[in-house]
């Protein structure tokens, strides 16, 4: 089953959104991207997609939905930096929660049938056990996680009241780049570890900060479940197919590989791939950082037609490094 209309991808000029656009187009969907280009780049949007420069909370989104016959939305637009959310919580409740409420209203009032939401493992806070299942307590320890949890609640309520179903995908740590180098993480001042490490490897940074070495983990540094961005994009396409197949059903799934690597293990992988040693700078913990986040991904593997293809850590690093080198060649 497929759609007669288009998929609208919010934040489709950003990191994860641009990869979802590629996956949708490669699967045969028609796509319209909306992005206000605050952190995204219009050049990152595949030319097969239509593009509209607009914020998700703008009333004009209703016109985009009607003009493009939008039947499904994939929502990636928002703010994503955990430490910043602690310092500036109102920005996150505006950009993530209030703006998404406006988008959901536009969708519900204009007959959008399916909605896929970019949620996060940060909704779990400090987990009581690892790996984490979708039914474990959600007790966010930072405003970023809380802003996303509030949206999950909105979607549940709206789906109960309107003819729309949804999939909430809780990401763990997203990394890597399109293996064909059509897109990658291009944000200036990015905070993702693998992005920072390959920037250091290509001379854009002098060193990599290690924030905390006293966590209750195997080497004292934070442990995360790293998922390749292209695998994550494929999961969104599979999730959309599931929503179309079962229009009365909604779901929430973890998106990860079910195994974690520490900060030092990731930096060791970068050293292996680059055949060099990245300088580590030991710093104190950042506010809002849990010790360990690893997904139990059994639910998504059982429910969706999705099998990860790029789970090897060194391969994720290689793709990220190739993209970083391409950015350097392009002067970006």
Catalytic sites, residue numbers: 144
Are the beta carbons of 229 and 308 closer than 8 angstroms?
A: no
- Which neighbouring-strand residues pair with 170? 119, 254
Are the beta carbons of 135 and 91 closer than 8 angstroms?
A: no
What does the alpha-carbon distance between residue 188 and residue 106 come to, in Å, rounded to a whole number? Answer: 31
What does the alpha-carbon distance between residue 68 and residue 203 come to, in Å, rounded to a whole number? Answer: 43
What does the alpha-carbon distance between residue 147 and residue 252 come to, in Å, rounded to a whole number? Answer: 16
Beta strands in the chain (DSSP E): 6-10, 31-34, 50-52, 70-75, 114-120, 165-171, 173-175, 208-211, 223-224, 226-228, 251-255, 261-262, 280-283, 292-293
- Which neighbouring-strand residues pair with 72? 7, 114
């Amino acid at each position: 089953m497929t759609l007669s209309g288009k998929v609208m991808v919010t934040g489709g000029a950003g990191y994860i959104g641009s990869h979802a656009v590629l996956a949708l187009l490669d699967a045969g969907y028609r796509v319209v991207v909306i992005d206000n280009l605050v952190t995204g780049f219009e050049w990152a949007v595949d030319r097969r997609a239509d593009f509209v420069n607009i914020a998700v909370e703008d009333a004009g989104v209703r016109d985009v939905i009607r003009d493009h016959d939008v039947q499904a939305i994939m929502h990636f637009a928002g703010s994503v930096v955990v430490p910043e959310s602690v310092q500036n919580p109102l920005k996150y409740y505006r950009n993530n929660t209030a703006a998404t409420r406006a988008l959901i209203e536009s969708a519900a009032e204009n007959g959008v049938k399916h909605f896929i939401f970019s949620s996060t493992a940060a909704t779990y806070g400090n987990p009581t056990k690892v790996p984490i299942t979708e039914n474990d307590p959600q007790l966010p320890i930072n405003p970023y996680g809380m802003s996303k949890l509030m949206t999950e609640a909105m979607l549940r309520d709206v789906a109960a009241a309107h003819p729309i179903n949804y999939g909430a995908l809780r990401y763990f740590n997203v990394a890597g780049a399109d293996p064909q180098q059509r897109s990658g993480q291009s944000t200036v001042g990015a905070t993702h570890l693998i992005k920072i490490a390959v920037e250091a490897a290509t001379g854009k940074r002098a060193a990599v900060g290690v924030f905390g070495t006293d966590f209750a983990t195997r080497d004292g540094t934070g442990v995360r479940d790293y998922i390749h961005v292209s695998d994550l994009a494929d999961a969104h396409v599979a999730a959309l197919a599931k929503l179309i197949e079962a229009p009365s059903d909604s779901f929430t799934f973890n998106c990860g590989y079910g195994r974690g690597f520490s900060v030092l293990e990731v930096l060791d992988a970068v050293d292996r791939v680059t055949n060099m040693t990245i300088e580590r700078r030991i710093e104190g913990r950042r506010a809002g950082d849990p010790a360990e986040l690893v997904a139990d991904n059994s639910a998504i593997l059982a429910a969706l037609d999705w099998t990860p293809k790029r789970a090897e850590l060194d391969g994720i690093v290689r793709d990220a490094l190739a993209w970083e080198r391409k950015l350097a060649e392009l002067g970006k």
